[in-house]
Amino acid sequence: MNAATVIFLILATLLVISSLMVVFLRRVVHCAMALVTALLLIAILFISLQAPMVGVLQVMVYAGAIMVLFLFVIMFLNPGVLEQPSVAWWGLAAVLSVLLGAFLVPLFSQYEPGDNPVTSTELFGSPDVLAKSLFGEFVLPFEIASVLLLVAIIGAVVLAKREHGSDGAA
Amino acid sequence: MVSAEFSTVASGLLRWIPLIPLCATVLNLFWGRAWGNRTAGGLACAAVGASFAIALYLFWQLPANGVLRDPVYTWIESGLFKVNVAFQVDALTAAMLLIVTGIGFLIHIYSLGYMAHDEGFVRFFIYLNLFIFFMLLLVMADNLLLLFVGWEGVGLCSYLLIGFWYRDINNTIAGNKAFIVNRIGDFGFILGIFLLVTGLGRQGVWTLDFLELQKHTELLSPAMIGAITLLLFIGATGKSAQIPLFVWLPDAMAGPTPVSALIHAATMVTAGVYMTARLHFLFVLAPATLSLIAWIGAATAFFAATIALTQNDIKKVLAYSTISQLGYMFLAVGMAAFSAAIFHVFTHAFFKACLFLGSGSVIHALDGEQDMRKMGGLNSRMPTTYWTYLIATLAIAGAPFSAGFFSKDLILWEAFSRGAMILWGIGLITAGLTAFYMFRQLFMVFHGEFRGDDHAKAHLHESPAVMTFPLVILAIGSIFAGWVGAPEYLWGSRWEHWLQPMFGAVAAQESSVSTEVLVTVLTLAVVAVGFYWAYAKYGRAPAKGAPSAAEQGFLYRLSLNKYYIDEIYDYLIVRPFTGCSRFFAEFVDPRVIDGAVNGVAAIARGLSWVWCGLQTGNVQHYATGLLVGTLALLAYFLGQS
Amino acid sequence: MIVDLAIIAVKAFLVLFMVLNLAGVLGWVERKGSALIQDRIGANRASIFGFAGMGLVNTLIADPLKFLTKEDFIPPAGDKLLHTLAPCMALFPALVTFAVIPFGDVLILGDRVINLQVANLNVGILYVFAMGSLGVYGIVIGAWASNNKFSLLGGVRGSAQMISYEVAMGLSVMGVLMVYSTLDLQEIARDQGMLIRELLPAGAAFLQPVIGWLPAWGVFLQPLAFLLFFTAAVAETKRIPFDLPEGESELVAGYHVEYSGGKFLMFFAGESAEVVTAAALVTTLFFGGWQVPYLMRDGFHFPWGSIWLLPHLAVVILQVAAFTLKVLFFCWLQILLRWSVPRFRYDQVMRLGWKMMLPLALLNVVVTALIIVAAQ
Amino acid sequence: MVPLNYYLILSAIVFSIGVVGVLIRRNLIVVLMSIELMLNAVNLTFIAFARHLGSMAGQVAVFFVMAVAAAEAVIGLAIIISVFRQTRTLDPQNMQLLKW
């Protein structure tokens, strides 16, 4: 068990704990902060997997933009009431999800990594390599993604625009 | 046999002949009410007048034995089968063109006066123009399908115009009757077209073009031709009111009188004759059909004439006389004397239109009274109408040197010279009957003293000039129109020379002029007998008027009630048919069919309710469903590996 | 191995030390500067044992003492944990940003080549933005945790404002990245050592005598980007004229109404640290970073050809000094701004960000791209 | 060098936790956050495989997942806001109008 594995295990435990917090904490803001933590941990895992570009993007996009948006909305609506979970439903859902985990974990643990991983060069995961494949073979999906984002912007504007007469929350 | 095509400057004009009335129809349809009666009526008349002018021009342009063609565009093209919207004018079409547009023009003008006080004025002229359009389509079509379109179109217009005064239910019923009876005929007609297309198609010739058909007739087996011509003739009986489908025409008199004159006397009802003449190259190859046509024609002529003897409605008499004259025409067709048939169409158009318009003038004067027993002594009150009526009566009765004399005589001579003695006899007797009932009508209407009430007597008046002018023109026509077809022993027939080449050389009848003169004299004698009988019975002692049906004999009542044909049809055909359809409508459709459909729907709904419970509307439940499905798939694949 | 770690630790410590002290000094400079601008005597009361001289030193010691000895108040209805975490979240990103900012070229000690930069990321600039975006949390969480309407409003404003200006900021930098075609700040700094004449395409040779002698600094290549970036950076620091989240006049103190003592000090230090960060970024991206004009690794190479060789150590010292001076200049510039410009209205801030800076930045990107393509 | 399986198992666990959140939470915002968590678990798998197979495709895929996630979050939050304006609640159990 070398140092890398130890670090990974620490990160993994932290990640699992924080994601559990996301799901089981009762205050929405706490959930959001737990999720931010989880995202940062995942970003670190990315960087440790020789994907620095994606890792930093992860921090920028998720932690920097999306989660701030979540917080913004949470404060916008500021739902004071805490939810009352129904025990039976909890039980069913929990059992099902545990079942899912019970399916997936052994499946992945039995997965044969095949031959030893490709000894990647120093450049692997660097911005220009990513850019080359992104604007090379994946240029069409890239354009489509841009269209998707445009649609999302318009949709958000239309949805959140307060129509005349009715004054919404906040 | 004519197939030489001439495409002169004139041929470009062809399409405008039908198009102008159509344009008038559309314009009046949208803006007629806004423009008002005067403008709308003027527009309608002008349109038909323009068509008439073009028709005249083409008539002069038309080269001897020539054909003018104007292909507009390709209408249907499926595989080898190709149908154009194309117009053609040859001698036959030219004759029909002149009749349709000329008579139509006069009747339009007449209608201006006749319909002046009707609130449906604009609608009337819209229908009338539409009819002219379809009629021209019919006579100018260069293929059978386009002809059929016109055929159906005129049927539609006739229906619309018979039921023109739709507020009276009887008119609507009459319209329906005409339409339905025509459907029967048209069904036979379209079957005939199908048979023709497939019959030629099997031989590899996919066409309905008349010129093409004429070239390829030999491809068809005689039996096939017989069937085709028979079916087409059924269509003709429907449109031209022959036995057994003549019952609609008398009821069609419910329409306005100009309509009766134009559609149900001059033009539309002769469409059947035109069609047979147009397809003569088929009919001449089917002797059986021809003889059937001849017999049916003769029977119709006689039959209708006997009914006309006793009718008291002024227009009914004319209607039955029309049927009988049509019978003459088909007799000629049956004799394969197509030019004679068309000749009779030509002359008949003049005097029958004149008669109808005259009767219309009378009815107009008596505001709506049609019963001849309430008329009489009108000759002094409305002289123009009287004199024109008299001339037309003479013409139809076949008085010497009148239009009817030449044409009817020609037909009888054709029958005689072809040795069809029985048919000739029937025709001869019918001629006498014709003379009788026409003069009976003349005496009852115009002679003696007036039998109506004083109120009606008070405002008897001659019709306005706009109505009498066409009468005069038509009266002149009824005298001189026949002269173009004079027999050989007189100054000879230009008509024959002009039209005959269309139909190929007829078997030259070897018979001396003397016999022909003899036959003519015999005919005149019979006519004279008929005239005298009428004079004796109605002209001399008009005071007692028509005897009531009661003290008459059985034959009289039989004739008066039109041999109970309508009742017979009603019992034999209509009742069982309606009963059958009632059964289907009231039992089969609601119980069986709807039951099946609703049953299926009910089952589906019942099943769906079972599953509706699953749709809670809660997103998370759906998500759970997704998860369960995923688990199932995972389990399946894990189980496999 | 150990030595490398040691060197990294030393570099990290040095940078942290510098930044925090600079932040502290800024506090004093700010007071003095404001006093100067407002024509009054300021920050002359801090006396230790009656010794009031050396205002800087005194203030440096007195301020923290004052803050740390005050009561640390947590609003009872608030959220204890987050209320405590928030200041750290505010301070942390400002500090770690410096990890990727180069303060000098390589230092060669014997056979060991030391890169004068704490962490050499090949995605440095992105890292900077990532950290900058994390800065929002401090405000938002602090505002929410103190359960106070004013601070909540401040938090909402802050989050909205910072997100808006991050967009304009990132887009404005895009031009620079395209020019130097790298994300590595150290690389960017090195490229700015070139002269413009080395970049000029053959087509624009006639410009040689005019601007050919200029160093290829970002400000010369991307003037518009510099303006936009500087404005956005100032907005990111949430200082006047962009101090809507605090807005004393309408929100009392905005997101840190409920903060006092050490936690407020952390907010305060965080703000100062952000000022320094902004200055450092502007320097690195647009003013050659540690570059001294015409100073190569072995000495000065003037455009008119004459060469003045220098020992390596002197070169390194010159570079670090140059970097520090530039940073100080921009810090001073921001202070000048803060005390001489009135505050925007909130809608004005939003309009400026979205309707003026964003389109301009996009335009800049497009134009730059066109020029680059044309030059090739 | 950490074996690939570790990352896979970790992402599986995180994914399952996210599923739990989606199923049981009665606050739409948290549900949305759980979805983000699931997406990130998948991203982790992508990156791990990319590293293992030495192909950039995985990282590019993550790139696109991020784009989609951003769009999804924006639209989802907008919908949540407008729903909250109508019915002053975030509880999906109170939003059951959309059925037969």
> Which of these, D39, D44, D47, D49, lies nearest to D72 by C-alpha position?
D39
Q: What are the domain boundaries of chain A?
A: 1-78, 123-162
The pLDDT tens digits of the residues spanning C260-290 come to 788 888 888 888 888 888 898 899 888 888 8
Q: Which long-range contacts (CB under 8 A, 24 or more apart) does B475-478 make?
A: B475/B354, B475/B387, B475/B388, B475/B391, B475/B392, B477/B350, B477/B351, B477/B354, B477/B403, B478/B347, B478/B350, B478/B351, B478/B354, B478/B391, B478/B392, B478/B395, B478/B402, B478/B403, B478/B404
Instruction: Give the best residue of D4, D37, D68, D84 to mutate against chain A (max A CB count within 10 A).
Output: D37
Between B545 and D92, the higher pLDDT residue: D92
Residue D18 corresponds to which tokens in the numbers above?
């996210």
More confident residue, B531 or C205: B531
Contacts of A138 in chain D (CB under 8 A): 57, 60, 64
Calculate the average pLDDT of chain C. Answer: 82
Residues of chain B with C-beta less than 8 angstroms from the C-beta of A92: 624
Least confident window among A107-111, B606-610, C82-86: A107-111
Question: Would you say residue A114 has pLDDT above 90?
Answer: no
* Whether pLDDT at B511 is above 70: no
Residues B472 and B480: their CA atoms lie apart, in Å, by: 13
pLDDT: which is higher, A119 or B381: B381
- Whether B394 contacts B144, CB under 8 Å: no
Question: How far off is chain B from A151, nearest CA to CA, in Å?
Answer: 24
Say what the pLDDT of residue C68 is. Answer: 82
The alpha carbon of residue D19 is apart from the nearest alpha carbon of chain B, in Å, by 8
A127 touching C (Cβ < 8 Å): yes
Distance of CA C8 to the CA centre of its chain: 22
What does D15-29 look like in DSSP terms, one character per residue? Answer: HHHHHHHHHH---HH
pLDDT, position C374: 81
CB contact under 8 A, A62 and D66: yes
* pLDDT computed for residue C301 by the predictor: 80
Tokens read off for B258: 């100009």
Q: Which of D23, D97, D100 sits opposite B623 (nearest CB)?
A: D23
Q: Do B617 and D96 touch (CB under 8 A)?
A: yes
pLDDT band with cut points at 50, 70 and 90 for residue B319 = very high
A99-103, B6-10, C342-346: lowest mean pLDDT where? B6-10
Q: What are phi and psi of B77, to 5 degrees?
A: -140, 100
Which pLDDT belongs to residue B23?
Answer: 93
In Å, how far are A107, A158, B116, B529 from B168, measured between CA atoms?
A: 88, 62, 20, 42
Asked if the model's pLDDT at residue D8 lies above 80, the reply is yes
Is C360 or B590 the better-scoring residue by pLDDT? C360
> For residues B596 and B501, what is the distance between their CA atoms, to the nearest angstrom?
64
Please state whether at least 3 CB pairs lie below 8 Å between chains A and C: yes
Among the partner-chain residues B615, B616, B627, the one whose CB lies closest to the CB of D19 is B627
Does D have 3 or more CB contacts under 8 Å with A? yes
- pLDDT level of residue B457 (50, 70, 90 thresholds): confident
Sign of the Cα pseudo-torsion (B393, B397, B400, B405, in order): positive
Strands B5-6 and B67-78 turn out to be parallel
User: Residue B505: pLDDT above 80?
Assistant: no
Average pLDDT rounded to a whole number, residues B419-432: 89
Contacting subunits of A (3+ beta carbon pairs below 8 A) = B, C, D
What pTM was estimated for this model as a whole?
A: 0.56
pLDDT at residue A170, rounded to an integer: 39
Q: With 80 as the cut, is the pLDDT of residue B99 above it?
A: yes
Which A positions 104-133 lie with beta carbon below 8 A of chain D? Answer: 104-105, 107-109, 111, 113, 117-118, 120, 124-125, 129-130, 132-133
A 31-50 residues with CB below 8 A of C? 33, 36
With an 8 Å CB cutoff and a minimum of 3 pairs, decide whether chains B and A touch. Answer: yes
Chain C touches chain D, with at least 3 Cβ pairs below 8 Å, answer: no
Q: Can you name the residues that pair with C106 across neighbouring β-strands?
A: C115
pLDDT in tens, B537-594: 877 755 455 555 556 677 777 777 777 888 888 888 888 888 998 988 888 888 888 8
- The pLDDT of residue C86 is 85
Contact residues on chain A for D32, CB-CB shorter than 8 A: 70
Name the residue among B437, B412, B440 with its Cα closest to residue B426: B412
User: Average pLDDT of chain B?
Assistant: 86
The mean pLDDT value for B80-106 works out to 89
The pLDDT confidence band at residue C58, using thresholds 50, 70 and 90, is: low
Lowest mean pLDDT among A102-116, B224-238, B266-280, B412-426: A102-116
Nearest to B623 among D22, D96, D99 (CB): D22
Indicate the pLDDT class of residue B1, thresholds 50, 70 and 90: very low
* Residue at B444: amino acid letter: M
Domain ranges across chain B? 5-560, 566-640
What confidence category does residue A169 fall into, taking pLDDT thresholds of 50, 70 and 90?
very low
Closest CA–CA distance from residue A44 to any residue of chain D (Å)? 11
CA distance D44 to chain A (A): 7
Whether C137 and A127 lie within 8 Å, measured CB to CB: no
What local confidence, expressed as pLDDT, does residue B547 receive?
54
In this predicted model, what pLDDT tens digit does every residue of C142-193 receive, in sequence order? 888 887 888 888 888 888 888 888 888 888 888 888 888 888 888 888 888 8
Average pLDDT over residues C351-357: 88
For B396-471, strand residue ranges (E) read none
CB B410 within 8 Å of CB B343: yes
> Whole-number mean pLDDT of chain A?
80
CA distance B615 to chain D (A): 6
pLDDT at position A83, please?
67
Whether chain A has a CB inside 8 Å of the CB on C168: the answer is no
- Judging contacts by C-beta atoms under 8 Å, the chain D residues touching residue B616 are 96, 99
Q: How many angstroms separate the most distant Cα atoms in chain D?
A: 55
**Cross-chain residue pair A103–B628, CB shorter than 8 Å:** no
Contact call for B631 and A100, based on CB within 8 A: yes
pLDDT score of A73: 84
What is the structure's pLDDT at C196?
76
- Domain A1-78 listed as CATH 1.20.120.1200: yes
Query: Which 3 state secondary structure label does DSSP give D47?
Result: helix
Candidates A74, A124, A152; nearest CB to D74: A152
| Integer Cα distance of B28 and D20 in angstroms | 76
Strand ranges across the sheet with C299-301:
C295-296, C299-301, C307-309
One-letter identity of residue B2: V
Residue B30, Cβ density class (10 Å: 0-12 exposed, 13-18 middle, ≥19 buried): exposed
Model confidence over B115-133: pLDDT tens digits? 888 888 999 999 999 999 9
Cα–Cα distance between B14 and C269 in angstroms, integer? 100
pLDDT of residue B354: 92
C25 Cβ contact list (under 8 Å, min separation 6): C56, C60
Nearest to D70 among A2, A125, A149 (CB): A149
Residues of chain B with pLDDT > 70: what percent? Answer: 95
pLDDT at B4 over 50: no
Residue C204 pLDDT greater than 80, yes or no: no
Cβ-based neighbours of B624, under 8 Å, separated by 6 or more: A92, A93, A96, D23
Q: Does pLDDT of A139 surpass 90?
A: no
Mutate to test the interface with A, among B624, B628, B637, B641 (most CBs of A within 10 A): B624
Contacts of A46 in chain D (CB under 8 A): 43-44, 47, 62
pLDDT beyond 90 at B138: yes
Chain D residues close to A160, C-beta within 8 Å: 78, 81-82
From A87-96, B534-543, C9-18, C138-147, the region with the lowest mean pLDDT: B534-543
Average pLDDT over residues B321-338: 91
**Measured between CA atoms, how close is A147 to chain D, in angstroms?**
11
**A65 CB within 8 Å of a chain C CB:** yes
**From B259-268, C55-64, D80-89, the region with the lowest mean pLDDT:** C55-64
B300 versus B401: the higher-pLDDT residue is B300
Average pLDDT over residues A81-92: 71
What domains sit in chain D, N to C, each tagged with a CATH number? 4-94 (1.10.287.3510)
Instruction: State how far the Cα of B559 lies from the Cα of B568, in Å rounded to an integer.
Output: 14
Contacts of A50 in chain D (CB under 8 A): 51
- Would you call the peptide bond into B256 cis, given omega within 30 degrees of 0 as the criterion? no
Contact list in C for residue A60 (CB cut-off 8 A) is: 126, 129-130, 133
Interface of A with B (CB under 8 A): 92-93, 96-97, 99-100, 103-104, 107
Helix (H, G, I), strand (E, B) or coil at B78: strand
Taking any CB pair shorter than 8 Å as contact, residues of chain D touching chain B are: 19, 22-24, 31, 92-93, 95-100
pLDDT at B235: 92
At residue D35, does pLDDT exceed 70?
yes
| pLDDT per residue as tens digits for the range A51-62 | 888 888 888 888
**Is the pLDDT assigned to residue C116 strictly greater than 70?**
yes
Confidence band for D92, pLDDT divided at 50, 70 and 90: confident
Q: What is the 3-state secondary structure (H, E, C) of B519-560?
A: HHHHHHHHHHHHHHHHHHHHHCCHHHCCCCHHHCCHHHHHHH
Tokens standing for residue C55: 């205002």
The contact set of B with A (CB < 8 A) is: 620, 624, 627-628, 630-631, 634-635, 638
Are B631 and A97 within 8 A, CB to CB? no
Integer distance in angstroms from the first to the last C-alpha of chain B? 88
d(CA A43, CA B113): 98
Instruction: Output B5 or B561, whichever has higher pLDDT.
Output: B561
Mutation site, D32, D42, D51, D89, interface A, largest A CB count within 10 A? D51
Most confident of B3-7, B452-456, C311-315, D33-37: D33-37
Q: What whole-number distance in Å separates Cα of residue B71 and Cα of residue B142?
A: 9
Is A103 in contact with B635 (Cβ distance < 8 A)? yes
Q: CB contact, 8 Å: A95 with chain D?
A: no
Residue B12 CA from chain centroid, whole number: 28
Contact flag C156-A65 (C-beta cutoff 8 Å) = no
> Where are chain C's structural domains?
76-375
- Choosing among A14, A30, A42, which should be mutated to test the D contact, i.e. which has the most D CBs within 10 A? A42
* For chain C, counts of helices (H) and of strands (E): 15, 5
